[in-house]
């Protein structure tokens, strides 16, 4: 796995989603993504792109109150939102680490810094921040096994 930091900007919601779609299609097998960023920076939009790439057609929304949503597909998507978690213990209590055991699913965790101690070593960390206007997003990928600029 590449250890370098890769940076890319997108200029629209659609471009952010397409990037996530391309990423999930380029990484077969288990994929764990820790999504970091302030409110409104595109974390859920990124997860929607992952769902697109997995062929999931039902609406994907942030599971802020349910904490974890599962989306069935040939390659299932697990979407967690830890915004309401205050401690790693709370993430343990909801069984987050159990989703890391499979070898075929995609796990996307919003506000992942609230569970850093639980995340496997092969987790891809994605940092999202708003750009100069309301549509641009700057994304930074840590430990990504593929070249982001070639997707």
Residue-range domain boundaries for the chain: 5-145
**Strand partners for 6:** 141
Burial (CB < 10 A; 0-12, 13-18, 19+), residue 100, is middle
Q: What does the alpha-carbon distance between residue 49 and residue 62 come to, in Å, rounded to a whole number?
A: 13
pLDDT, position 124: 96
Contact 35, 142 (CB under 8 A): no
pLDDT in tens, 107-137: 999 999 999 889 999 999 999 999 888 889 9
pTM equals 0.92
The region of weakest confidence among 22-31, 43-52, 80-89, 102-111 is: 80-89
pLDDT, position 117: 87
The superfamily in CATH containing domain 5-145 is: P-loop containing nucleotide triphosphate hydrolases (3.40.50.300)
- Say if residue 22's pLDDT is above 70: yes
């Amino acid at each position: 796995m590449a250890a370098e930091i890769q940076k890319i900007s997108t200029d629209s919601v659609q471009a952010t989603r397409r990037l996530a779609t391309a990423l999930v299609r380029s990484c077969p097998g288990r994929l764990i993504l820790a999504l970091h960023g302030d409110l409104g920076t595109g974390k859920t939009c990124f997860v929607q792109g992952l769902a697109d790439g997995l062929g999931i057609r039902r609406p994907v929304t942030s599971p802020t109150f349910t904490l974890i949503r599962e989306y069935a597909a040939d390659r299932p998507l697990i979407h967690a939102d830890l915004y309401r978690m205050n401690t790693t213990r709370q993430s343990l209590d909801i069984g987050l680490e159990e989703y890391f055991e499979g070898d075929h699913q995609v796990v996307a965790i919003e506000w992942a810094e609230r569970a850093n101690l639980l995340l496997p070593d092969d987790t891809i960390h994605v940092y999202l921040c708003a750009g100069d206007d309301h549509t641009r997003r700057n994304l930074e990928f840590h430990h990504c096994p593929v070249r982001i600029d070639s997707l």
